[in-house]
Homo-oligomer: A and B are copies of this chain.
């Protein structure tokens, strides 16, 4: 598959010791991946890092430089281990302080006398960032440059993504066609499939085995942005599978 130089690309950075310890199983990567694929943005890399400044700052700078968009999840709550906003400010070399707009959002949920120092941490926003509203618990995320900083709690992340998504200029939509090869062994069709893959420069063809209680079930997927090419590739793959199934 050749790379389209005008393609929109993205990375995800998941921030949190609780994911790396296995205590919490991440659900956000799959949600964001599905969303980006649907709107034609190619997710090219994901990283998960601990709640440590050097790791976060390093990953933010590496990923925002390499991709059109970077989406982060986690580390924007009120406790001492929530350091994402400070790290993003450091990565961009900008200041960070309590943002009046963010404080106003927190006051929709908390009484002024309950807005203690810890809660005000959630209103600390890097200079120059735009806020991403949080309809569930009010503490906002933010966008700075090409970086979108979102919550780690999946329902809040989803609500933030729903807001951010429609504002993004997106790429040509990726089209995907699946051919079920069932229990036809990959090794039976691999050589012919490679030939088909070689003949379509603009279609990415993959073979994905999974296991069911009855044994293997293989799927062959053709993905690309040109509908005619994807359809032709699909037809060739279907013919191959039909021929081998006999």
Contact = CB atoms under 8 A, between A and B. Distances in A.
Nearest to A80: B194
Interface in A111-151: 114, 116-119, 121-122, 136-137
Nearest to A223: B21
A77 B210 CA distance: 12
Contacts of A21: 33, 37, 43, 174, 176, 223
Contacts of A33: 19-22
- Summarize A's interface: helix, strand, loop or mixed: mixed
B114 A187 contact: yes
Within the oligomer, what is the number of copies of this chain? 2
A65 to B, nearest CB: 14
A36 B186 CA distance: 32
B187 A18 contact: no
A118 to B, nearest CB: 3
Interface in A1-57: 14, 17-26, 29-30, 33-37, 42-51, 55
Nearest to A206: B81
Q: Chain A interface: which size bin?
A: 35 or more
Contacts of A37: 21-23
Contact of A45 (B36, B49, B77, B110): B49
Given A205-B81, A206-B17, A47 B45 contact: yes
Interface of A: 14, 17-26, 29-30, 33-37, 42-51, 55, 77-81, 110, 114, 116-119, 121-122, 136-137, 153-156, 174, 176, 186-187, 189-191, 193-194, 197-198, 204-211, 216, 221, 223
